[in-house]
Amino acid sequence: MKRISFNNIVNSIKDSVIEINCVASKELLNKYDTGIMRENNELSKKVLINLKQNAIIAKEKMIPICQDTGTAVLFLEIGTEVVIDGGFIYDAIYEGVKLGYQEGYLRKSIVDNPLSRNNTGNNLPPIIHTKLVEGDTLSIVLLAKGAGSENMSAIKMMAPSEGINGIEKFVLETVKNAGSNPCPPITVGVGIGSNFEGVALLAKKALVKEFFEIPEDPNITKIEKDLKEKLNLLNIGPQGFGGKTSVFDVAILMEPCHIASLPVAVNINCHVIRHKKLVF
């Protein structure tokens, strides 16, 4: 058995919430640079330069990269040989998220009820997805997910006969209809298979695919590459100003499904990529 302290989880989540909101990863800065090099539309190039500069200033001053500091979404993988000392794991996560948003002066963006809409004042509750795995490791993938991009996401229960052409058409339509709303350049997470609720989760998980040990499938890699090329021909461009850099990446996750179904979901993330994996 591995024993992990409750307070260790609280403090790690708190620090990570602040870090992902204020400190742009090297990966994100590289994506801006690649876009800046590729763009020959001067306005779009300038927008990317400004986005990069914004991220650099945020890091220097430890202020959020964007005012929408998002919903905290967490994917937990809990080893069967893990014991949390000092409390319940969900309580540790709630406490860490709360302290991170409070101590980091991050905007509190959650309302207690979708109709009466009172702000909870501490960005709680987070959205937690839990999977039990063998072993003595606890891993937590944390995302701060902005609403501008989340609102442009879509799901469709397609007929199996629509196949890959139908899937590509749906992804292209979803991104085209989204236009500048999700703050491009975007990352496009695509879920294919499972069922209605499962495919939405696959699309969200696809946005952080690199954190999971998913064997590479050359067929999927090719579809991701083709889709990225097609999406970047839509001329949406950085923040909707046109150009070649509408999409940073496309990531697909697939699962088995019913013989009569072809569920597809598209979950969009804005240019502000705010993810981190914690391993205990």
Q: Where along the sequence are the contacts to ligand SF4 (CB under 6 A)?
A: 66, 68, 70, 146-149, 182-183, 270, 272
Shortest Å distance, C-beta 179 to ligand SF4 = 13
Nearer to ligand SF4, 192 or 272 (CB): 272
Residue 140 C-alpha from the chain's centroid:
14
**Residue closer to ligand SF4, measured from CB, 17 or 270:** 270
DSSP collapsed to 3 states, 109-136: CCECCCCCCCECCCCCCCEEEEEEECCC
Nearest distance in Å: CB 261, ligand SF4:
30
In whole angstroms, the minimum distance from the beta carbon of 238 to ligand SF4 comes to 11
Place of tokens 């959650």: 110
CB of 50 to ligand SF4, least distance (A): 13
Q: Which is nearer to ligand SF4, 206 or 272 (CB)?
A: 272
Question: Which residue has the CB atom at the shortest distance from ligand SF4?
Answer: 146
Classify burial at 149, counting beta carbons within 10 Å of its beta carbon; exposed 0-12, middle 13-18, buried 19 or more. Answer: buried
Q: Give whichever of 67 and 219 is closer to ligand SF4, judged by the CB atom.
A: 67
Q: How far is the CB of 187 from ligand SF4 (least distance, A)?
A: 11
Residue with tokens 């000092």: 86
Phi-psi region of 269 (alpha: psi -120 to 50; beta: other; left: phi over 0): beta
Alpha carbon of 132 to those of 101, 161, 196, 203, 239: distances in Å?
28, 35, 22, 20, 39
Please identify, using beta-carbon distances, which residue of 84 and 266 lies nearer to ligand SF4.
266
Toward ligand SF4, which CB reaches closer, 18 or 138?
18
Asked if residue 30 lies in contact with residue 51, where contact means CB atoms within 8 angstroms, the answer is no
Q: How many CB atoms lie within 10 A of CB 60?
A: 10
Q: How far is the CB of 184 from ligand SF4 (least distance, A)?
A: 9
